Homo-oligomer: A and B are copies of this chain.
Amino acid sequence: MKHRVLLTGPGGRIGPHILPTFHAQFDLKILDRRPIEGEPETIVADLSSIETLTAAMAGCDTVVHLAATSDEAPFVEELVPNNVVGLYNVFEAARAAGVKRVVFASTVQAVSYYPHGHTVQNTDLPRSVSLYGVTKAMGETMGRYYHDKHGLEFIAVRIGWFLDYEHEWLKEGRANAIWLSPRDAASFLARCVTAENIGYAIVHATSKTDFELLSLAPAREHLGWEPEDVVPAAP
């Protein structure tokens, strides 16, 4: 039987690249704050209402939660409502709707203040490079709480530097250690839905690289996942 999945925020940067995989593999509902072209059944809502989120999750076993404010948005006006309160609302709705697993889009920015020679392990304390990263690290801790306290399965995916194949930064070698390709993003997030025997996990998602700035060991261990794409050699 197909997993019944609610995907939040597929109108963002990553979403369009994973929607075909998710439609193919799962019985999919999607929620975004704006209508999405070609997705007439999108539930249009933000993250401000537990009731709306609970209704959207009805019948779902898994929530893949991409919706968030990214990068250097204002802390009080945007990061807190969406990444702190909005995430809390997602967890409370998941409890109310009987969802079994939440897959949470965290970020490399939660840990990218470690010096470049250090391969980050999923047991290292966060060292965030931005307030956005701070809110995502908090999401990992909140997920731990909802797992420990309420038995929710939780996977925090520290997403690498998502760039399309033709992006010039990739050709310039600026994303070597943390690039996540569209194809690898889709297979990774789908695996987070289907992987079994996970209670709580923090996993790093990047494509193949000569030097893992973020260790891929947790993804191998918890998800049995390997990247397919290889970071292009710098010129």
Contact = CB atoms under 8 A, between A and B. Distances in A.
A126 B144 contact: yes
A1 interface: no
A88 interface: yes
A141 interface: yes
Interface in A74-130: 75-76, 80, 84-85, 88, 113, 123, 125-130
A138 interface: yes
A127 B145 CA distance: 7
Q: What does DSSP make chain A's interface, helix, strand, loop or mixed?
A: helix
Contacts of A80: 80, 84-85
A127 B113 CA distance: 22
Interface residues of A, number: 26
Given A128-B144, A130-B145, A88 B75 contact: yes
Given A85-B76, A123-B125, A141 B134 contact: yes
Nearest to A137: B141
B145 A113 contact: yes
Closest 8 CB pairs between A and B? A138-B138, A113-B148, A137-B141, A126-B141, A128-B145, A134-B142, A134-B141, A134-B145
Interface of A: 75-76, 80, 84-85, 88, 113, 123, 125-131, 133-135, 137-138, 141-142, 144-145, 148-149
16 contacts: A113-B144, A123-B125, A125-B144, A127-B144, A128-B144, A129-B145, A129-B148, A131-B142, A133-B145, A134-B141, A134-B142, A134-B145, A137-B138, A137-B141, A138-B138, A138-B141
